[in-house]
Structure 1
Amino acid sequence: MNEPRRRADATENRVRILRAAREVIANADEVRLNEIAKRAGVGQGTLYRHFPTREALLAEVYRTDVDDLVAAAPALLAGHAPLPALARWLDRVAEYASIKRGVFAALEVAVWQDLSAHSLGPIGEALTLLLDAGKADGVIRPDVDARDVILLVGYLTRLEPAEWDTRAHRLLDVILNGLRPHP
């Protein structure tokens, strides 16, 4: 069944709400819907028409980030050699993990499990695309796979907010260096 077409202003409101929610998740200790509506420049009614519950909004922020992360892999490979493409993708993973930590902290367990299932397959496929390109180019070790990398980057959700800026990208560099072939 086709979803009804949204009016242009409704689509724009939805995008602004998602952008504002993402900012609040990334920068606030508590996710407050009135703050999201205010940042998006919409009323509470508009927010609730698009997202009837707090969980629905948070889940959509998460799904959008996953979809963007997955879409970035082929786009990065189109514009960069495999290793720089993977490095740029891992930078996006750091941003994604920051949002993921905030979303998961705010969601119920059942919703979290559904979102986790949504992301692992597509993210694994995007990462496999990047790793395979690097292996073909000889800049990624042949013995690593997407699950190895996913397990390694899982630590990002364990970083404390105060140490995020100093550790996240440095630790991703450690992973990237470990993916390179060694003589």
Structure 2
Amino acid sequence: MTFDLSRPAPRADAQRSRKRLIEAATSAFAREEAPTLKDIAQDAGVGIGTLFRHFPTREALVEEVYRGELVRLCGRAPVLIRDMPADRALREWMRQWSVFVMTKRGMADSLEALVRSGALTKSETVVLLTEAVDVILDAGRASETLRRDARADDVVAALMGTLIVACSPASSDQAARLLDLLLAGLRVAEHR
């Protein structure tokens, strides 16, 4: 075991402040078009200086929230297939993905800047999504509820296309219908 002695571990209170900031930002970005950093700090119960010590820019905070939420969403795939049949698990995971996308409107400009700068790549997101979908497709193939020829990268591309067309809360009904159509095409014929 090796230890990195170049930087001391963050103090416990600093770790708690960081966690509260991430939680407050996650909530604020989901409910508001453009929450201020001051409001996020206030919601977290810390000063704006504390926010900037942890996240020197708005983009740094957005990146942390986005990555954390994406990892959490992708980590749901194994839980869903444990709790329900693979076809239903896939539909539930697609619903959760659509909610994830629709509630990131307050982060859109910062996410775009992160992609332009290279700090956040679309390929990172696609890899995580593809891995999660593949877990569910594998379970569906094993249970013979989802088509054997279904490819995770194709499903992710279809999901992204769907949510480009219907990406706002106002179009959630259309998104749900499109996701139902996608799932119908993925089910084995006798399970449709």
Corresponding residue for residue 17 of structure 1: 21
Corresponding residue for residue 66 of structure 2: 62
Quick check: which has more Rg, 1 or 2?
2
Question: Superposition pairs for residues 129-168 of structure 1, below 5 Å?
Answer: 129-154=135-160, 155-159=162-166, 161-168=168-175
Shift of 1:49: 1.3
Corresponding residue for residue 126 of structure 2: 120
Corresponding residue for residue 35 of structure 1: 39
Measured at CA, do residues 46 and 83 of structure 1 come closer, stay the same or move farther in structure 2, by a change above 3 Å? same
Shift of 1:59: 0.7
Name whichever of 90-99 and 165-174 sits farther off.
165-174
Match of 1:78 among 77, 82, 90: 82
**Paired residues, what number?**
183
State the TM-score, normalizing by the size of structure 2: 0.82
Match of 1:180 among 163, 182, 187: 187
Give the counterpart letter for 1:121 in structure 2: V
Corresponding residue for residue 52 of structure 1: 56
Are the aligned partners of 1:73 and 1:89 in contact in 2 as well (CA < 8 Å)?
Answer: yes
Unaligned runs of 5+ in 2: none
Provide the C-alpha distance between the structure 2 equivalents of 1:25 and 1:89, rounded to a whole number of angstroms: 21
Match of 2:102 among 74, 82, 98: 98
State the TM-score, normalizing by the size of structure 1: 0.86
Corresponding residue for residue 177 of structure 2: 170
Are the aligned partners of 1:124 and 1:150 in contact in 2 as well (CA < 8 Å)?
Answer: yes
Give the counterpart letter for 1:177 in structure 2: A
Provide the C-alpha distance between the structure 1 equivalents of 2:27 and 2:176, rounded to a whole number of angstroms: 20
The CA RMSD measured in Å over matched residues stands at: 2.4
**Aligned residues: percent identity?**
37
Provide the C-alpha distance between the structure 2 equivalents of 1:4 and 1:99, rounded to a whole number of angstroms: 36
Give the counterpart letter for 1:90 in structure 2: M
Are the aligned partners of 2:80 and 2:93 in contact in 1 as well (CA < 8 Å)?
Answer: yes
Provide the C-alpha distance between the structure 1 equivalents of 2:149 and 2:28, rounded to a whole number of angstroms: 40
SS of residue in 2 equivalent to 1:114? coil
Provide the C-alpha distance between the structure 1 equivalents of 2:74 and 2:169, rounded to a whole number of angstroms: 28
